[in-house]
Structures are given as C-alpha cells and as structure tokens.
Structure 1
C-alpha cells in the first residue's frame, strides 16, 4: 500500500495561450527609431552600465533622443527582488507542481503587474534552463521540472501572464546550464537531437508565446569570440526596441521604485528557512486556537527534543527541509548545487525518532527538489507525507488548509523521487559535460533501465476511467490527433485531478524513451460526477528531431497512447497509427 503523498495546490480554470503580440507594428516603430539614434545611443541601449551601479540587477544606458530611458532588468524567481510590500510568489518548480495552466498564467500576471508598478521593465524569468537533468542542481527550483513538455507549457503560460501584466519576460538560461559547479567555464556538449527534443523545447515554446527577450547562460556551448559588425549592432538595438514597443513601455511606464543596493525586503521566503518556519508556525498556532487544539512544539533539530514534544500528542507533524545555493552563494557548505539528496540537519533521523514514539506521524517536506525518503517512508507510524515544496509567502496558510481538510490537495510531482541518488543516472561534471545520457533523464532514464522509483514523475491520485479516441494527421504546430477520456470522481467531495497523456513512439523512430509526456489537463470534478477530458496533440508532439536532416520527422507506425495519474499509474491505453 502506498503512503499518502499530498501536495499543496488548488485548481483553476483553462487558460489562454502565450501573449497576443503585433511584432510587425513593434518592428516598424523600432526601425523608425533606429534612424534617429547616434552611434553612442545605440551602444548605450545594448550595454549595461555595470553590476551594482544602478537601482536594478541590470540597467542599460538611455537614449533620450527617442525617449528611451535606462531599462531596469530585475530578478527574480519569486517576484520583484529588492522592493518593499511585494508578493513572495511560489517559484517555478512549485507552479509546475500544480500542473495547472491557469495558475501558471495567474502567477506570471501577478509578477508582471508588480514589476510594472515598480518600474521594472524586464523581469529576469521564467526559467527553462536548468531543465533539471541533475537532481541536486542548485537552481532547478527556479525552473518547471525535468520534462520539456511540462516546462514548455509553463513557459508559454508564464510568458503570457508576465507580458499581459505589462513587463517584459526574459526566458533564461539559454542553454545547457544544468549545474552551478563551474557554471562560468563548464563546456556543455549536447548532441543535436537531445538539444532539440529536451533543452530547446521549452525555449521554443517561449518564443512561440512571443517572449520579449532571452538571457544567455554562463557556460560554454562551443561559442567562438568575434567582432560585432555595425549590422549586428543595429539588429541588436532594433530587437531591444521592438520588445519595448511590443509591451507598450514607450508610453507612461512607471518610474523605477526599487533599490538593488539596499536590503529593504522583497521576496526572500525560499532562501530563508527562519522566515518560512515563522509563517508555518503562525498559521498552525492561529488555526489550532480556533479549533481548540493544543500545540506542543520543538523548534530545534534535536531528535530527543522532537520525540519528547511528540510523546503525548495525538498527531505529530515533523518538518524537514532541503535548500541549495547558487554559483556564487554557498549555503551551509552547499556550494550552489546540493551536496547530496538527503534532508538537511539530519531530518530523516528526526522523523525516525518521532515516529518511534508517535503512532500518527505526518512528515511535511519543504525542499528545492527531490530528497531520498527510504529510511522512513515505509515506517508504520508515518501515516502521510506532505510534499509542501516551496509555497512562497502563503506557505503556512496553504499547509493549514490541507492539514485541517479545508482543501483537497491536487498537485503532482514535476520530477521523480528516486530510491537512491544513483538511480537518476546523472551527476555534476567538471570541465566538460558530454550529456552522454542523451534523451534519458529523470523518469525516461528510470523507465529505460527498469528502475522502480519511490514516487514517480507526475505522481498523484486519479479516479480516471474512460475511452481513447484518436483523430486524424497534418504542419508542426497543427493539431494532428485528438484523445478524449472520461474523468470520474468516485468520492463525495469535489476534487481536482490531473489527467496525463504519455506517448510511446513506433519502432521506426530512432532510440526513444519508453514514454514521454505529451499532454495534461487539470480538471475540477464534483463528488460522484464525471466529465470529458480532451487532449489535442500537435504534429511536433508526435515527431522526433532528425539531426542529419535538421528537421522534425513524424515517424510512421503505431504510437502507444497511455493516460493516467502519473508516469507509472496509467489507467487507459490505446494507439494512434501513422501511415
């Protein structure tokens, strides 16, 4: 019997696609403006004024001749950094855990609106790289999980939301930035097929969503130094101005109201365990008082203190964590990337000590990514694990709603939780990373090697039953097949479920993962009710990248279609035949 495994997310409604944009009009204005600029103006627009020399993480020069003020480019992954009275949003990996297009878009729009209100022209996100091929990668939490399809959907929706909010989105880090170790010098050598099917995929979705800009990564990808011609300079200026006009920042955009050089607040929940603990403690204490519940706490990592506090309690809730740093930030000896996949501060020992003395132990995990659970996950007294992830400033309130049963958890894992770190098949590299694993990362690697995970990619509960109905075939982003199913809620309480569609490619395709995510729909279903769920598959979703021909190829043969609650819990199967 599988341990209860809960997530802190709620459902929203179906969302739009990308950002509605008129690039032709924007480029017409940009080209007209280019003719009014001096050479110094052009150089100013494409140049930063220097790290720490302006109010933002990055500032360009200005061009007063066309009313182009210095652009403010600002972090970060949780919202606008360096500003007071702003929201600390959940980071990308938590948004991905919702598997909810509308929530992804709403989060993006909130970030975009607050960015604009503070005069931030370019918010430095969303993140498509790292994709997360290395489970202990230090900045995986900024992105949207280890699957390119899921990440691509999240990029599309987040870009749309940010730019609807008025700011320019900046997709990053392009490309092959999968670790913090030696991030300035490591050489990422990626074969062309893997590049297109994994790492370029979410960036391509961001471009289709009309993202305003893309940030390059620090690492090497076979780049050669060269001089910049006048034509290249003018093209750079035109592109920057076009994005400025596209998002209508040339008219009435607010003045910048942040200060990068002072510590005056801003989103800092992810990187501050003490802040998160206070949020959670306050929410639980407040709710306990309302319900007449007595709370006994132990606020240290001491196993004996934890066991003592839990000894006479009806229910014990144990909080464990794992954090990470960045290339230039070491957190508790973790230099950017995590040293391993263990819970920090001997968290597993704390769980075991409490579970040895309390028969109703609930484990709550706040973590930047997967951790190894094997030492306690099967203990009889551990009744449930709540994977809280990185919920942002509403961490405590969200957790209370789950613990007290006010909301039904409906999140899904955006990565695999393996039984041991080596089950992922990837590690941090020095000097050169050859990406020798190719297409086989995360669940794709485990499937290929018949390795059973502890909790698989996309894991969650799903009452789905139904039929698969294939459609017909046609260009790269055209819908070529439709799959429908019936999703039923056998319980008495309304709940949201994520139905996931995976494709297995025909034998005519070159070596390909056993199954790959190619669709998902999060749907709210009333208790005892059923609803129809439809997946629309694009030609690209059924294609592989032909490296020699430099093109996407739709292989002939029988595609296996599987639909279910996760990459392992597949309830329905069918096929699509391409001739």
Structure 2
C-alpha cells in the first residue's frame, strides 16, 4: 500500500493535490481520473445512511438513536447493526458514514444528547469500538465524531471549552483513542475550540491523535469548520463541504509563496490516498457487504429497539396478559418521533407507530388526550395530489427567473434542498399540491421556511413575507424554521389548491421548505377529558409521552427537562383513575417525571427507529425482554443535576470545572440521589449474582435466573479507591458483560477489566497508583452486591485496552 501511495503522490502537481484536500461537492470527496481515483460520496450516518441527498424517493433504514444503541450494552448486536449500516452505505454508493457520535452526554440539556452514546467514557468506547470494527469489516469507513469536547450545541461554532489535560485524557479523548485502536479510517474535527484553539487547528490533532496514537487515517472537518487558509498547515486533512473556498486558490498561493510548506499538503494527500485504497476507490474495489432484505433489516431494527428499551419501574403490570380493554393515550402514540433531529435524520420507506403496533395485537381505544403543541406538522402526502401527474404527492418546480429549469414529483411535504442538485443556483422554488380534506372543520394551512415566501390558496395570495430565521446556526435554520399559517374552513372531501413559492432574499439561504397543516380538532379540554374517560373504563392505560424536534435536535440546547405541553398533567390524571397505568417515555435524553411514583410501570424507548410500534408491542406483551440498561442518569428535577451548564459566558468560554466527575460520577460526588441511576433497568425475571473470582484483570461471576421466564442481564463492574492519594470518582465503570439464561438456569459473566481503568493521567503520562483497588459487581452503579480487591499490574501503563 505504501509504495502505491507514494508513487501516486509523486505523480501529482500542487494544484492537483490541493483539489484532493477539498471536497468536490457537499457530501463528496474529490477524485482524480488521471490516477484512477474515484470521487467518494460520504453520508451522515449515526442512525442510518441517508446518502448524499435528502430525498424521500431514496429511502433509508431508520435505526435506533445513538443513546438507544448504547442502552443495549451489547457489542454483538452492534456488530450486526454495523453490517446493516455498511450494506446501506454500499446500496447508496457511499464510501464513509459520518458516525458514530462519541461525544459524551455531559449535561442532560445538551441538544444532541440523543445522538451521542452515553455519559460514560468506557461504555461509549466499547460501543464505538464495536461499531467501527463492524462497519469497516465490510469495506465502508466509519467516522467517529466530533473530536473533541463538542458536548453541547449552544454557540458550537465559537465556544471555547476550557478543560484540564486529565479530564481530556481520561474522559473526553478516551472513546476516540479506542476508536483509533479499533482501526478507524476517518475522524471528524469539531466546530468548537478547546483551550484556546479551534479544533480544526488544534494541537490535539497532532498529539495525541496522529503522534502517540498513530492514527494514519483522514481527519475531515465538520462541515464549514475550516476557519482559515492557514489551517492547512495543521492536522485537519480534508475541508468540507466542497469546493472549499479557503483551501482553493488562496491555499495554492500560500504554498507557492512559502507561507505553508508543501510537505503539509503531501501528508494530507497521502492520507487521502491511503483512505481511498481502504474503501475501494483507488485500486481493487472494496468488498461488497451482503445486502439486507427488507424483512431482515426490519427484523434487526425491531430487535435492536426492543433490546434498547429500559424498564425503570414495574409493579407487576408488565408484561400485559391479554387485557380486554386498553386505552392508548398521547399524541406521541399516533405521531411519535422515530429519530432525533439534525444530521442524524433519515427518511424511511415505512414506520410503525405505537398505535400501529399495539392495535394489531391488542383491543385498543386510542385518544390523543393532548394536542401536539403550537407547531404545525408536515402535511401527510396521502392527503395531497400532484396536479401535474395526478399522483399522490406534490409537484416541485425549480425556477431561474420565470424560466422553469426542471419539475419534480415529490412524495414528502418536507423538502430539504441544501444539497439537492436541481436547487443549485435557482432563484425560486415553487411547490404545488391539491389538499383533499378528510374531515370537516377549520384547517390550519401554512408553510415553514426562511426567505421570501408566498402562499396561495385556490389562487388567492394569503401570505407574502420575507421570513427571517429565529437563530443563526445553519442546522437550526434548516430544522427549526419559522412557520406561517392561515385558517380555512373545509368540508369533508373538499379540495384546496396550494402553491408555495420560496426564494432566497436579503442574504437568506434557500435551504428548504415544508408544507404544514393542522387538522380540525377538539378543544384542548375536550380532548383531555376524552382521554381520562377512556382510561377510567379500560383495564390498562398506556400513555405515550415524548419530546419534539423543537426541543431535542442538532443546532440548539434544551432550556429545561420538562415534557412539552400538558403531557405531565395527562399522565397524572390518567393515573388517578386507573391504577394500571403504563407510561412509555419516548425521548432521546432524560426528562422530569413528577408522576413517576404514581404509575404502575415506566418504559423508556429513546428514539427507537422505524420499527418503534412493533418493538414496543413485543416488549409490553412479553414476547421480548425489555433488554436495555440506562446509559445515563435520570434526575428527579433539573435542580438536582450536578453538571448542567452548556452555554458559554460573554468571553465565549465554557469551563468544564467538574473535571473527571461527569455523569453518574458527578451524582455520586454530590450525594444527591437521582430518580434512576446509571446502569439501572428491570426485566421480566429476577437474578442472583454470586461466586466472584478474579484472575489478573479478569473478573468471573456466576449469575442465576431465579425467576419463571428466560431473561437478559447486564452485569456491571465498577472500581473504587477509597483511600486514594489522587482525586478520583467515588466509583467508575470498568467493564461489563451481557448474559442470558432460561428460568432456573445459571450463566457465567466474564468481565475483562482494561488496564486503563486503573490508571490516571499526570503531567508525566499515565500512572498506576500502587496498592489494591476495590472491585464492585452488580446491575447498576447503585446496586453492587459483590465486592473484592484487585491489584493491577503496572506493566501495561498507558495502553487503553
């Protein structure tokens, strides 16, 4: 490989080299036909592979969110999920998937919390390791991101994270170090600065990444994270998106003038050529993963979603045993979130809601109970007809002045156009659809977007406005645009001709446009009363609650931990009339649950992907074990959270004053008891742990299923050092193992304790404090019945394994 790369590098002149270190399109690395190098499309990839374009006509498998995958604690499952991701990538001609997101869930109000894996560095590292290895085993590159300390969204382009070297090494860098050891071919540099230097120009790209760790892959910038031409002298290798303005002609001039050495460019190109060989874009093509059938993909997503669901409370009501009457309540049951907002978004070919999944197997009466909120939803395309074709959907025209460049038939009312080729350089986009009202009453009809927008209904212009964005983050502009609407009374079956025209104006971008609506609905009080009455007469009440894209998404952080709207009020009212109330919480991160002691059961589902409903039905009825364990800590109230702040001060610095005490470590230090601790989760059986033995850095535990049905348990190992001379957490995760056993049977949990778990970072590198450490074995950070002493060897100091 080295000889080929060096030979090809020697054949390139400086302009050709500079072209290769800047992308050729929004989601495409540049190629060079003279040396046989193909262009290399990449794709967002944390929860599925969208491909280069945001287009519902090229659907993707929607996987559980990052937090959901970590909640499985299951390396073997991640290996199979990685195979599905690789197959999806090759199906879409993608060479690299931009994931996993391995920043830590430092604060529960972090807006991208759902996309990250967990609050713990070791759990994050183990899940990332399995993800990277499995995806790349099929010739597709993973791209762990965002290196490093991009743990919140507020001012993410300008925030300067102030963090100690010890916290960096032991907490925030550790998942990246393990990803490099897993063989990652690409890493993404973050937007933020760390200790005074923006990450695309930060010394951390050299040491420890490319030096000490020996990373020989490509460092790609987060999109638009390159801030200067001078950055080309630093450790970032590819500027995205392309073509990169700062790394084009200005960089060519800088190298020729001697301000940037050509050797710096050569190192980047060498890495790109090596990457191209690995993914099959240069010499022999990479292996093609075995394709997944639709049924196989759906089955794996369904399994993963069920194994991620965490049962945090159960008084015996679950699993459900053939109830005669079930009240299914909550807007989130009929219109749930399947995934988080932002770059993790994909468009699946189908979805299964809780209403779909449960009504297929149980006698369900559904009442929303609460309205979704002030935001209107994208119009279901089943209610729309394309006037140009007569088919279900919309007609979209791309205009240059009044000249029509091209027309498309689209099957979604939410159109993201930022990387859509027909939208490039147009002066306006016109969306045309005919809405057929399925119920009579007052409909709200409108548009979401920014720029110059007009809305015409049956030929009458009802809106003509320059809509300004409410935020400055491009992701927030694209994903949380302002809405404008009007009300129209429609009879059942009546049709309404809708035309939306949008154009960039006043310096505003043309990012996308969404046709939104709200059907006629009962008053809020009438809807609420109907839900309570349905619960009163039901044998069991299932209330599905959750967050919205306006609360959890890339581009902004949360302002509180409350469920939006009247959802808490609905749960409390239902629990008051039905003691067999089960609450399903569909959020990507913790929420307050003021009713948690008043309901029979609470099941956390995260954002579980396209098979949400079918997986939920499996778990609630006992067909499948609720296999998840908490990858984060859930507070009683936001006031209890020991590490909360995500916003920088006026000087744009955000101090990580808590140091190594993040997540459950901070909770243990504070002494405040959370609602549910890290690692917690219940199943449908009971367990007994016994006979702990230790050989070297291997702990072995016998575990017996003492219940009446088969089950799954996550055995967790924590270390402590009560008399340490070093500042340490009260306890910290050191390893875990997933075991399964039939009723009455026993199994053996073998837990490997990495040497790094015993080490601490000093100015002189990694050190092991002499003497014994205390090993705690159990099923959560707060439930650790087995204890023993273990003495690590100093022989492997500094080796993260």
Given the two structures, how large is their TM-score scaled by the length of structure 2? Answer: 0.61
Equivalent residue number for residue 701 of structure 2: 485
Paired with 1:42 and 1:333, the residues of 2 have a C-alpha distance of 37
Equivalent residue number for residue 344 of structure 1: 564
Cα offsets for 1:88-126 (capped at 9, x unmatched): 011211100001111122112211121022111111101
Paired with 1:464 and 1:236, the residues of 2 have a C-alpha distance of 54
- After TM superposition, the structure 1 stretch with the greater mean CA deviation from structure 2, 152-161 or 456-465, is 456-465
Which of 31, 44, 52 is 2:6 aligned to?
31
Question: Retained in 1: the 8 A contact 2:145–2:188?
Answer: yes
Cα offsets for 1:402-460 (capped at 9, x unmatched): 11111111210000001121322221222111100111111101111211111000002
Q: Does 1:246 align with 2:278?
A: yes
Paired with 2:105 and 2:787, the residues of 1 have a C-alpha distance of 28
Q: Which residues of structure 2 form unaligned runs of 5+?
A: 202-227, 234-260, 289-300, 302-336, 372-526, 794-801
Cα offsets for 1:527-553 (capped at 9, x unmatched): 10111111122221211111x11x111
C-alpha spacing 1:367/1:510, structure 2 compared with 1 (3 Å): same
The residue matched to 1:185 in structure 2 has which SS? coil
Q: Does 1:415 align with 2:635?
A: no
Which of 577, 596, 601 is 1:384 aligned to?
601
Equivalent residue number for residue 128 of structure 1: 102
Given the two structures, how large is their TM-score scaled by the length of structure 1? Answer: 0.84
Question: Retained in 2: the 8 A contact 1:119–1:254?
Answer: no
Paired with 2:171 and 2:29, the residues of 1 have a C-alpha distance of 32
Which of 541, 552, 568 is 2:782 aligned to?
568
C-alpha spacing 1:313/1:532, structure 2 compared with 1 (3 Å): same
Cα deviation for residue 334 of structure 1 reads 9.9
Q: Does 1:298 align with 2:516?
A: no
The residue matched to 2:572 in structure 1 has which SS? helix
Cα offsets for 1:168-217 (capped at 9, x unmatched): 11110011111111000000111000000100000001000000111011
The residue matched to 2:640 in structure 1 has which SS? helix
Which of 71, 75, 92 is 2:44 aligned to?
75
Q: Cα RMSD between the aligned structures?
A: 2.4
Cα offsets for 1:5-44 (capped at 9, x unmatched): xxxxxxxxxxxxxxxxxxxx4x443223212222222112
Equivalent residue number for residue 655 of structure 2: 434
Paired with 1:471 and 1:449, the residues of 2 have a C-alpha distance of 34
Equivalent residue number for residue 80 of structure 2: 106
Paired with 2:12 and 2:554, the residues of 1 have a C-alpha distance of 47
Cα deviation for residue 332 of structure 1 reads 9.0
Paired with 1:78 and 1:144, the residues of 2 have a C-alpha distance of 11
Equivalent residue number for residue 535 of structure 1: 751
Cα deviation for residue 309 of structure 1 reads 2.2
C-alpha spacing 1:106/1:47, structure 2 compared with 1 (3 Å): same
Equivalent residue number for residue 285 of structure 1: 359
- After TM superposition, the structure 1 stretch with the greater mean CA deviation from structure 2, 201-210 or 461-470, is 461-470
Paired with 1:508 and 1:331, the residues of 2 have a C-alpha distance of 42
Q: Does 1:367 align with 2:587?
A: yes
Cα deviation for residue 294 of structure 1 reads 4.3
Cα offsets for 1:140-170 (capped at 9, x unmatched): 2111110000000011000012112321111
Cα deviation for residue 59 of structure 1 reads 1.6
Which of 389, 398, 405 is 2:615 aligned to?
398
Paired with 2:612 and 2:587, the residues of 1 have a C-alpha distance of 12
Counting only pairs closer than 5 Å after superposition, residues 58-207 of structure 1 correspond to structure 2 as 58-81=27-50, 82=54, 84-129=58-103, 131-207=104-180
- After TM superposition, the structure 1 stretch with the greater mean CA deviation from structure 2, 64-73 or 183-192, is 64-73
Paired with 1:247 and 1:61, the residues of 2 have a C-alpha distance of 14
Cα deviation for residue 271 of structure 1 reads 4.3
Paired with 1:73 and 1:242, the residues of 2 have a C-alpha distance of 16
The residue matched to 2:114 in structure 1 has which SS? helix
The residue matched to 1:378 in structure 2 has which SS? coil
Runs of 4+ in structure 1 off by over 6 angstroms are 272-277, 332-335
Cα offsets for 1:206-233 (capped at 9, x unmatched): 0000001110110112226646321111
- After TM superposition, the structure 1 stretch with the greater mean CA deviation from structure 2, 566-575 or 158-167, is 158-167
Paired with 2:699 and 2:641, the residues of 1 have a C-alpha distance of 31
Question: Retained in 1: the 8 A contact 2:338–2:612?
Answer: no
Which structure has more strand as a fraction of its residues? Answer: 2
Equivalent residue number for residue 515 of structure 1: 731
Paired with 2:557 and 2:602, the residues of 1 have a C-alpha distance of 25
Cα offsets for 1:38-85 (capped at 9, x unmatched): 222211211023xxxx4xx52222211221122212113211113624
Paired with 1:230 and 1:29, the residues of 2 have a C-alpha distance of 20
Q: Which residues of structure 1 form unaligned runs of 5+?
A: 1-24, 256-266, 325-329, 473-480
Cα deviation for residue 287 of structure 1 reads 1.4
**Bigger Rg, which one:** 2
Paired with 1:314 and 1:124, the residues of 2 have a C-alpha distance of 46
Question: Retained in 1: the 8 A contact 2:340–2:553?
Answer: no
The residue matched to 2:666 in structure 1 has which SS? helix
Paired with 1:543 and 1:342, the residues of 2 have a C-alpha distance of 38
Paired with 1:509 and 1:464, the residues of 2 have a C-alpha distance of 35
Paired with 1:277 and 1:107, the residues of 2 have a C-alpha distance of 18
